[in-house]
Amino acid sequence: MWSMRETQDRSRRFHTCFAYYSLMGGERASTTRMRLSGQICCVCKTLLHPEPNQRPGERHCKRCAPRHRVYMHFILAKGCWSVTFLEEDLKTSLPRRFVFQNDVKILDLARRGGAEFNLAELQAIEHGISMGRGAVWLSLTLDRRACISRVPAPSHGISAHQAEKFSHIGLAVGCCAARKKR
């Protein structure tokens, strides 16, 4: 037979194991209602701010939002850094293109795009910049993915005709070549 102390230890271990690792139970009814109405994140359960036209349903917070992998390719051409984007299949080109005068903007774009900035990835980007061409995988949220998927409107003092003239060669509006033409 077990002593009183062994019985208490066994029941305590059983209760601890049952309370935390049980297949029964789950989340509370109030948490379920809040999750299904979109008031809390469906992954981490943090409170979300209400949106004006919010439909009922599960929502993610910015940290837990699903991400899309996009391939960012950059190349130095005529003194400007041309940045293009490809889908994960590396065949489908996204319409948005950027042109930068400074290579620091490429690092900033990669950081904002969710690229992994461990030592190897940072060295690979810097090596690509020193060679004049390179690429990096980005991990974009749905909002940022939507921004890259749409074509920007002409701006920066360039007419729509000039923007069309440069769009067939892949230069973005505001490129150094467009500034030289003015």
Rounded to 10°, the helix 119-131/104-112 angle is 140
Q: How many residues comprise the chain?
A: 182
Q: Which residue has the tokens 């041309």?
A: 82
- Beta strands of the chain (E only): which ranges? 68-77, 80-86, 98-100, 133-140
Which position has the higher pLDDT, 4 or 39? Answer: 39
Q: Is the pLDDT of residue 101 over 80?
A: yes
Confidence of residue 168 (pLDDT cuts 50, 70, 90): very low
The mean pLDDT value of the chain amounts to 76
Q: Is the pLDDT of residue 11 over 80?
A: no
Question: CA-CA distances (angstroms) from residue 12 to 3, 15, 25?
Answer: 14, 5, 19
